Amino acid sequence: MYTFSLRTAGQRFRLWGAGVAAAAALLTGPAPAQAQYPDHAIKLIVPFAPGGTSDVVARLVSKVASEHLRQTIVVENRGGAGSIIGTDAGAKAAPDGYTLVLTNGAAITTGPMIGQKISYDPIKDFTHMLWLGTFPNGLIVRHDHPARSFEEFVKLARAAGDKYSYGSAGVGSAGFLAGELLKLKAGLKMVHIPYKGTGAAINDLVGGQLDAIFNNPGVAAAQVRAGNARILAVSGARRIPTLPDVPTMDEVVPGAVGEAWFGISGPAGLPPSVIAPLVAAFEQAMKSEDLQAKLIEQGFTPDFGGPEVFARNLQSEIAKWGPVIKAADIKLE
């Protein structure tokens, strides 16, 4: 099992960033032998089950990017172990650019920091090259909850101590981390109830067994439309276009910003002749207004960046969540 160290991770990011700069310099030189990449279909491993929001986002983005690459990008769902199985397959693929993987915090940053068992190094075993954007989590309460606003919820939860409960998709999930961040920043003592999936958590929320859940707002959209649940706040840095009247948690509790992120990575050692066309194609894809609108409908915030942006954002994620995980003593059982 690889032990994730905040100090060594920072050192590796700096070394990796230097490697990225060197690769970028090489791109300005004569075209290498692999200039014809890609000459056949590319596989994108999505380490989650089909039909989820992450799967939808991956398919939307890869479809448009494939048009710019002039090669098909085939999505392969390989879920399990909280996205670790599919991510591991991406790390162990041949470094030829024909197998990529949708990466996320649970597999690369926060998961290893809380003790998730992995057989890969989250930094040196990958070429992290395409940052796609983020998902905010929503604080969702049952329809008859006494709090009519997020500010009221915080006051009631603070007064209730450990009598309030919230559910998430499990320890280490983005929803769980958003909940623990809110607890830390607002001085709450809510009890976390982990679930193996979002469906059971939503059912228990609607049935009155939970006070709240943290999850992608889109997951509970049907229950919200039916009047069975309400969204009081989102955990992103800014309000989302599909819920313009719902405040961010940060508006009431400064610093309570916790989002899930997604990027596209390949195995370590991808040559510049592979990285350059991939970055160019996905950058063009993410500029599409039609694609952006479809992603926003899914609750996703498009925010594309290449290798340098990816490296910088990963450093930021580690710096942000390290103190939260330590203060809340978060660890997998």
Confidence bin at 178 (pLDDT 50/70/90): very high
- Identify the pLDDT of residue 14: 45
Question: Which of 316 and 22 is assigned the larger pLDDT?
Answer: 316
Percent of all residues in the chain with a pLDDT value above 70, rounded to a whole number: 89
Say if residue 223's pLDDT is above 90: no
- Identify the pLDDT of residue 15: 42
The whole-number average pLDDT for the span 229-238 is 94
- Identify the pLDDT of residue 4: 46
The whole-number average pLDDT for the span 288-293 is 96
- DSSP-assigned beta bridge partners for residue 167: 193, 213
DSSP 4: P
Across 30-44, 46-60, 280-294, least confident range:
30-44
The upper half-sphere exposure of residue 282, i.e. CA atoms within 13 Å in the direction of its Cβ, equals 26
Coil/strand/helix, residue 170: coil
* Contact partners, residue 323, CB within 8 Å, separation at least 6: none
Say if residue 41's pLDDT is above 70: yes
Characterize 53-74 residue by residue with b for buried, 16 or more Cβ atoms within 10 angstroms of its Cβ, and e for exposed: bbbbbbebbbebbbebbebebe
Say if residue 17's pLDDT is above 70: no
* Helix/strand/coil (H/E/C) assignment for every residue in 223-252: HHHCCCEEEEEECCCCCCCCCCCCCEHHHC
Contact 201, 213 (CB under 8 A): yes
Question: Which of 8 and 260 is assigned the larger pLDDT?
Answer: 260
- What does the alpha-carbon distance between residue 240 and residue 299 come to, in Å, rounded to a whole number? 7
The whole-number average pLDDT for the span 183-198 is 91
- What does the alpha-carbon distance between residue 54 and residue 189 come to, in Å, rounded to a whole number? 30
- Identify the pLDDT of residue 333: 63
Domains in the chain, CATH or no CATH each? 6-135+259-327 (3.40.190.150), 138-251 (3.40.190.10)
State pLDDT tens for residues 70-119.
999 999 999 988 899 999 999 999 999 999 999 999 999 999 999 989 99
* Contact partners, residue 292, CB within 8 Å, separation at least 6: 286, 302
Angle at 312 between CA 38 and CA 137, to 5 degrees: 95
Say if residue 271's pLDDT is above 50: yes
Say if residue 288's pLDDT is above 60: yes
- Identify the pLDDT of residue 23: 44
Strands 126-136, 301-305: pairing kind: antiparallel
State pLDDT tens for residues 148-169.
999 999 999 999 999 999 999 8
Across 4-13, 93-102, 266-275, least confident range:
4-13
* Contact partners, residue 305, CB within 8 Å, separation at least 6: 130, 131, 312, 313
Mean residue pLDDT of the chain comes to 88
- Burial (CB < 10 A; 0-12, 13-18, 19+), residue 296, is middle
Residue 188 CA, distance from chain mean position: 25
- The structure tokens 């939860």 sit at 157
The whole-number average pLDDT for the span 271-293 is 97
Confidence bin at 19 (pLDDT 50/70/90): very low
- DSSP-assigned beta bridge partners for residue 101: 45, 265
- What does the alpha-carbon distance between residue 112 and residue 325 come to, in Å, rounded to a whole number? 11
Confidence bin at 6 (pLDDT 50/70/90): very low
Q: Which amino acid is at 131?
A: W
